[in-house]
Amino acid sequence: MKPIIPFEPVRQEIIPTGDQWIYQIKWDGVRILAYADGNGIALYNRKLHERTEHYPELHDISSYSRTNCFILDGEIIALAEDGKPSFHEVMRRDGLRRMERVDQVKKHVPVYYMVFDILYHNGSWVHQRPLHERLKLLGDMLLPNPVVQQVTPQTDGHALFELMKQQRMEGIVCKRLDSGYEIAGKNANWVKVKNYGDIIAAIGGFTLSGNIVNAVLLGLYDKEGRFWYIGHTGTGRLSKPEWRELTEKLKPHVIRESPFANKPERHHNVYWVLPTLCAKIMYTEWRLQEGRSLRQPSIQAFVEKPARECVFPMDM
Residues with a catalytic annotation lie at 26
Rg (CA), the chain: 21
HEC secondary structure over the chain: CCCCCCCEEEECCCCCCCCCEEEEECCCCEEEEEEEECCCEEEEECCCCECHHHCHHHCCHHHCECCCEEEEEEEEECECCCCCECHHHHHHHHCCCCHHHHHHHHHHCCCEEEEEEEEEECCEECCCCCHHHHHHHHHHHECCCCCEEECCCECCHHHHHHHHHHCCCCEEEEEECCCCCCCCCEEEEEEEEECCEEEEEEEEEEEEECCEEEEEEEEEECCCCCEEEEEEECCECCCHHHHHHHHHHHHHHECCCCCCCCCCCCCCCCEEECCCCEEEEEECEEEHHHCCEEECCEEEEEECCCHHHCECCCCC
